[in-house]
Each structure stands twice: as structure tokens, then as C-alpha cells.
Structure 1
Amino acid sequence: MRAALEKEARWKTALSWLVVVVLTPITVWAGTAFGSGSYYVTSILVIIYAMVPFFVSFESRRPQARELVIIAVMCALAVVARVAFIWVPHFKPIAAIVMIAGVALGSRPGFLVGAISLLVSDFVFGQGPWTPWQMLAYGIAGFVAGFLAERGVIPRSDLSNRAKTLLSLAGAAFVVVVVGPILDTCSLFTMISAITPESALAIYASGLPVNAVQATATAITLFILANPLLGKLERVHVKYGLAR
């Protein structure tokens, strides 16, 4: 029985990585190649991809409505975190909220929260060819945070000051190294007609200040809100016996 459960867990993990690492990036790139207007279809496909591994995890058990409610609440909180700072250029705490969702809920819900919250918040900031790229970037942020938490690398509650500091620095570094460059790649494909090493370097270099501001917002938010939010979500999981 235990071997069967471990085999099922490995299969679900492999499916999740297939969605995040293969299908979603290919679809986002293809949507950019098809040009204007295709981003609506691409965004819907990304959401479908995000939902597949999540609902596969329900295969052997009866899903509880409260599990979906928690995911919806985290999506709403992530959207509010971005919209509330609309008046501050580039200073958006949304990545931190998505990472906290991944740590608390797991890798698959983390990717789903990241993808959905960017799609929804772009109804305020504006939909465009960048939307699927944002969904991919922040979905990966939630997925990686959840993946590390599932393996005990990131504590799911009661973080010490040292753990909070490390999480904040790691979150900021992830924004600079992964999230930001993915968004810069979108700019490279949509703004440059002929991609050369020089034009690529110019795009990525110009994106560094923006990524640094976003990383600062991520670090501050993680340090301040990680313990309160993770503590509340952990209590909900324990109280209602929710699976992860």
C-alpha cells in the first residue's frame, strides 16, 4: 500500500513538473509567436494546465470545498497586494503572497495561485501579450516555494528570525534571478524585431532596476507577513484536517 502511494506521489510530481517546465513555457512562447490577440487563448490554456495537476491530486479522495476556498482567498489576497500598490511604480508584494501560498498549500496550488492572481489583477493593470508571461513567472514562484516546503527546506509555520531573514533574501533573489528575467524575456520577444546579443543585453540590463524594486517588495513582505499568514493557514489545515 505504501509503495503504491509513493508511486502515485511520484507520478503526480512528474505531471506537475511537466506542466510547469514543459507545457506552460512552450504555450506561452507559441502565444507570443502568433502575435496580437492570442494572449487570451494562451492565458486560458495556462490556467487549464495549472488546474490539471491540482485536480489530479483529488483523484483518490473527496475534495473539500474549504480547500478551494483557501486557494480562492489566497488568490484574492495576492490580487489585492498588487492593486493596493498601484500608485508605487514596480513595488508590488504579489510575489511574496504567491510564495507564502505555495509554502502553505503546496506546489500545485502555489502554481495555480500565481497564475490566476496575475490573470485577474491584469484586468486592473491591463491585459496584453505580457499576461501569460506573468502567469508563468509567478506561477513558477508559487510552485518552487511549495516544492521546497514539501521537502522540508522551508518551514510551514513558526519561522525564527533567522528563517524569516533567509526566506526573505531567497524570495528576493528568486525574483531577480527567475521571475524578473522571465518577464524581461517577454519584452525581448515583443519589443525587439531582430534579437541580437546586444539587444538582449540591453533588455535584461534595463529590467534590473525594476526587478530590484520588486525584489525589495518581496523581501519586506515575506519578513513581515510570512509568520502571521503561515500560522493562520497552518491552523486551518490542522483544524479541518486538510490534505496537502
Structure 2
Amino acid sequence: MDGITLTAWILFIGMIIGLILGFLKIFENSKPNVEYLVLVALLVAVCVMGMLPTAAVPGVQAASFVIIMAGIIFGRETGFITGVLTVFVMSLFLGFGFWSVFQMIGWGLMGFTAGLFSSKLENVYLRASFGFIWGFAYGWITDISMLPFLSTVNLNSIIGVFIASAPFDLLHGTINAILLVLLYGLFKKIFSRVKNKFIFSMNVEKNITANHGDKQL
């Protein structure tokens, strides 16, 4: 790889990191309360626990199901944050690399789009299709991290990388679709209860803060 190509890759990865950090900064500036931070931590913990036992099996990405469910039930921002932080925590166990950036983008966008189309995903066929498509989309995004290792980057080599990962992407998409069909009702019930409790806690905190302010006045 020549110097110009290497510089382009560094700039490209730097731009992606900047976008992720920018989103996290916006999230930080929104001043989330303790309950919300605990919620996100629990979602990330579930993703990591589901991912680590199968980390050595290519294409088996159990965390994708939880990230999609997080986006559907808790919204696109929570889905994105869950996806990004899942990679960060998982990398503490499996190791960091520049490929981690593309994993963050892949899972972050997966959770974000799940929240964006949450109303459509009540339909079982659309939900299964969504999970299946994201099996390939996630693979294509993370495949980009392999391109710097190629001696020559052109259309044929890029297509070759995508074709090589196709069986694993197919497995990933199939598992997503199956889980979103079989376990959607159970996880929706569990996550909805957590969401309702979270909203109740937020309302109680707001009322306490408001009453405290009224007493000061």
C-alpha cells in the first residue's frame, strides 16, 4: 500500500471516529440521568454476555438481536449507543483494532435503524427481513476493515472480500431473522416492562425536583 492510500485510510478512519465521538458528545450533553445510564449498561452487558461464548464462531452474532430489540423498544438513540458501547466493552476482552471502528459503525447503525423503523417492524415478515438484511449489511461494513491488507484495492478485490464473507453474513442474517421471529414477543415484553419502569422513575425524579424547586421559591 502506497503512502497516499495509507493517508486516505487514516483520514477516513479518523473521520468515522470523529462522527462516533461527536454523537457520544451530544449524548453526554443531553445529561442522561442515572436510571438511563444503568439501562444502557444492562443492555450492553446482555449483548456482551450473549456474544463472548460464541466469539470464536464466525457469523454467530447474538448481540445483533439484542441491539435491534434495544432500538425497537427504547428508540434509535439508545439502539445506536448500545451498539457502539457493546463493541467497546467486548474489545476489552477480545482486543482493540481499527476494525473495532467499523464494528461500532455497523452495530450502531443497526440499532439506530431499528429504532427508526420500529413501527414497521411490528410486522413479522418485515422484522425477519430487516434482521436478515442487516446480517449482510453489517458484514459489508466490517469487511471494509480488510481492504488495507490487500496488495491492490480495486473493484475485483473488493468484490472478492465480500464474496469470501458471504457464508458468514448469510449465517448472521439467518440467526437474526430466526431470533426476531421466535424471541421477539418475549424480549418485547421484558424490555417494555423495563422501559415502563424507567419512565416511571424519570417522572418521579422530575416531580421531586419540581417540588424541591417550589419549596425553595
From the superposition, tell whether residues 166 and 66 of structure 1 become closer, same or farther in structure 2 (CA, over 3 Å).
same
Is this contact kept in 1: 2:36–2:198, CA < 8 A?
Answer: no
Q: 1:31-42, aligned counterparts within 5 Å?
A: 33-34=9-10
Structure 1 CA distance for aligned equivalents of residues 7 and 187 of structure 2? 35
Structure 2 CA distance for aligned equivalents of residues 68 and 103 of structure 1? 18
Is this contact kept in 2: 1:91–1:214, CA < 8 A?
Answer: yes
**C-alpha RMSD over aligned residues:** 2.8
Aligned-pair distance for 1:136? Answer: 0.5
User: Aligned to 1:194, what secondary structure does the other structure show?
Assistant: coil
Q: Deviations over 1:172-223 (max 9, x none)?
A: 11221x21111112212x2223211211111111111111111122222222
Structure 2 CA distance for aligned equivalents of residues 211 and 166 of structure 1? 19
Residue of structure 1 aligned with 2:131, choices 171, 177, 189:
171
- Structure 1 residue 106 corresponds to structure 2 residue 75: yes
- Structure 1 residue 52 corresponds to structure 2 residue 25: yes
Structure 1: any 5+ residue segments left out of the alignment? 1-29, 156-162
Structure 2: any 5+ residue segments left out of the alignment? 1-5, 203-217
User: Aligned to 1:128, what secondary structure does the other structure show?
Assistant: coil
Aligned length: 196
Aligned-pair distance for 1:44? Answer: 6.8
Higher alpha-carbon Rg = 2
Aligned-pair distance for 1:97? Answer: 1.1
Aligned-pair distance for 1:125? Answer: 2.6
User: Aligned to 2:96, what secondary structure does the other structure show?
Assistant: coil
From the superposition, tell whether residues 144 and 88 of structure 1 become closer, same or farther in structure 2 (CA, over 3 Å).
same
From the superposition, tell whether residues 33 and 54 of structure 1 become closer, same or farther in structure 2 (CA, over 3 Å).
same
One-letter amino acid of the counterpart of residue 223, structure 1: V
Give the TM-score normalised by the residue count of structure 2: 0.78
Is this contact kept in 1: 2:83–2:111, CA < 8 A?
Answer: yes
Residue of structure 2 aligned with 1:219, choices 154, 168, 177:
177
One-letter amino acid of the counterpart of residue 58, structure 2: P
One-letter amino acid of the counterpart of residue 24, structure 2: M
Give the TM-score normalised by the residue count of structure 1: 0.70
Structure 2 CA distance for aligned equivalents of residues 121 and 57 of structure 1? 25
Residue of structure 1 aligned with 2:160, choices 194, 202, 219:
202
Structure 2 CA distance for aligned equivalents of residues 54 and 203 of structure 1? 35
From the superposition, tell whether residues 127 and 235 of structure 1 become closer, same or farther in structure 2 (CA, over 3 Å).
same
Partner of 1:91: 60
Is this contact kept in 2: 1:43–1:131, CA < 8 A?
Answer: no
Structure 1 CA distance for aligned equivalents of residues 27 and 72 of structure 2? 15
| Structure with a larger share of its residues in helix | 2
Residue of structure 2 aligned with 1:186, choices 134, 142, 145:
145
